[in-house]
Structure 1
């Protein structure tokens, strides 16, 4: 009952205030009994209401949940202020210095190896993998990352692909620091795009643009070629296709589950006591996301490497994807929802929502006038 009350209170804030349009006469003249034709007349309205509830359950997957305030009292507020000073004035500059020093060492070693060992690809790829792992470890250190890994570590073997739930681009960094993965990732602009093209390309990563339909065929072909390569780095994919707030899992895309190889599930769960690691890319750049992590106390998470799974006889790739999602959700304690994460990028505009609310109010008023 508490959950129903909270849901109704949230819906009350969003629905149109129809009472403002009603007069006392229209309220007194409203019918006392509900007939079949009245029920048929309001069926579109009920469908709209059900759609609003569905939309609410979808948007919850992509909202940050701020922790309950704990510091607004005379005892804890001074300690909180002291913590702010420590995090921003001492820890943050120290972490920036660590990150800059790591970049200097990385670039000083990476570019000579990348350009001077062109004829020795085996050694070049091996050194580049170690350098990428080292740089990811520096990133984790800049957040004071506390990561606990469970299960056997990934190994370089053909015919396998790793899939994980997706909360932020730091998921890749946390996994990459102990094993160099080739990741399939959305193209990004700015300094992130530069790193993708010049550095992560050295470990065999594959890029795509979700707004270009022609990319799908090219990416699918590259994926099949990569998983069958003997010396290629393990392939890492985030089949949700977008960042989710680490409380839910949305539908997995079937691309990783129709490659005809072993699928190795990876479950990632962040502890939100110190910081919420969810990256809302529509509201915050990745640079500001890193700043938020670097001004927190720590990034704490658990990573579980689960048993490899194979397509069962008579099982479709979609059913295979759902079975793996069940495993990841159960291990990380995440709630499953039946929505496609790509809908996040095709949300209706506020003007369209307001127009729908206006049409709803006008239809109710028109119905009352007929009565």
Structure 2
């Protein structure tokens, strides 16, 4: 039994990083034997950082849903909760599906004739397509019984401007699109969402990219610069976080939207979780099921603030500009800032980054041992 435990322990140790590989052999031989825990905590800020990460993992918290406290906990409230389930799933949900289906029928009946028959009249075609896309997004919002309050002046269509917003779900785009036909920068999606992207949303100038394709960055950057110069182009909308965050935090903004040399118009979006949590965890739930969850709730409640346009200040870098705009959005929507790159949600850190961290840790221990 002891031999089995010993062999199992040895196998487990093989997976652990070997700190001695990063230390010179002479320092290992001369190291003191009476090193205490307080010394370890003193010698390395990395240990303190790791301990803090275990206690408060702010990166993971950015992408987790926080379910509300259950309220149907006694014999008086449970029947009311059951009645609410019957109303939401048995009455509201079928009605909302019917509204959505009728909306799609009306939309396609008008969109395809406009798209194909008015090719010789591009100005009229663009104008009608914008109105139809706004109408369809309004139908989507109605299918959730969306209660959206907009603050500030409605965005105008003019060149040399880009709109940026915090990102909680793909419905952010729908909520903003029902007021103004934005041209959005969005990840390519499969299924029916991809069909809508390719056949409908491209008519308003939307630009698609794929995170796994490194060459897409250069192509998207070029299209962004071309789009903001166009006089008749729809306003450009970018979600610089690059991923959906749970509406409690904001992660790092990518700098692409802030180095175009044009006005940056911040938009702050805050959802009220009184009826439903609007956060879409795309790694655990398809967008279809996300919509079903919204359509079986009582309502989707949110506020949208259109903030003052911002410009790059003299001596300010695009990264500093992005952080300043993130400060504005976070303050207005009541969100906490965290220093994480949202793409870490999809990609693991490179081995070089991990080895560099291990080397820094080993060097800090070596310096402490030399002082001993």
- Contact map agreement 2:162 2:262 (CA 8 A) in 1: yes
- Aligned position for 1:71: 72
Q: Cα offset for 1:50?
A: 3.0
Shift of 1:57: 1.1
Cα offset, 1:37, TM superposition: 6.4
Note the alpha carbon deviations across 1:61-108, whole angstroms, 9 max, x for none: 000000011111111110000000000000000000000000000000
- List per-residue Cα deviations over 1:190-227 (Å, max 9, x = no partner): 00000001100000000000111100000000000000
Distance 1:49 1:314 in 2: 35
* d(CA) in 1 for partners of 2:52, 2:348: 15
SS in 1 for 2:62: helix
Quote the residue 1:365 is aligned against: none
Taking structure 1 as reference, are residues 233 and 52 closer, same or farther at Cα in structure 2, changes over 3 Å only? farther
User: 1:162, 1:112 → 2: CA distance?
Assistant: 31
1:99 — aligned with what? 100
2:50 corresponds in structure 1 to 51
Paired residues, number: 317
Instruction: Tell me what 2:359 maps to.
Output: none
Mapped to 1, the partners of 2:278 and 2:137 lie a distance apart of 16
* Equivalent in the alignment of 2:144: 143
Please give the per-residue CA displacement for 1:310-330, whole angstroms capped at 9, x wherever unaligned.
000000000000000000000
Tell me the equivalent position of 2:171.
170
User: What's the C-alpha RMSD, in Å, of the aligned pairs?
Assistant: 2.0
Task: Give the equivalent residue in structure 1 for 2:229.
Answer: 228
Aligned to 2:17: none
Aligned to 2:159: 158
- Which residues of 2 match residues 180-259 of structure 1 at below 5 A? 180-259=181-260
Q: Take 1:281 and 1:244, find their aligned partners in 2: how far apart are those partners? A: 10
Shift of 1:119: 1.1
Q: Unaligned regions of 5+ residues in structure 2, if any?
A: 1-8, 10-32, 350-372
| SS of the residue 1:280 aligns to | coil
Which aligned pairs between 1:1-371 and structure 2 lie closer than 5 A?
35-36=34-35, 47=46, 50-51=49-50, 53-54=52-53, 56-347=57-348
Distance in 2 between residues matched to 1:223 and 1:113, nearest whole Å:
26
Give deviations 1:263-311, integer Å, cap 9, x for gaps.
0000000000100000000000000000000000000000000000000
Tell me the TM-score normalised to structure 1 length: 0.82
- Tell me the distance in 2 between the aligned counterparts of 1:64 and 1:313: 40
Corresponding residue for 2:25?
none
Q: Distance between the aligned counterparts of 2:257 and 2:53, measured in 1?
A: 27
CA–CA separation in structure 1 for the residues paired with 2:67 and 2:36: 46
| 1:185 alignment partner, SS class | strand
Unaligned runs of 5+ in 1: 1-17, 19-33, 349-371
Note if contact 2:41-2:48 (Cα within 8 Å) is conserved in structure 1.
no
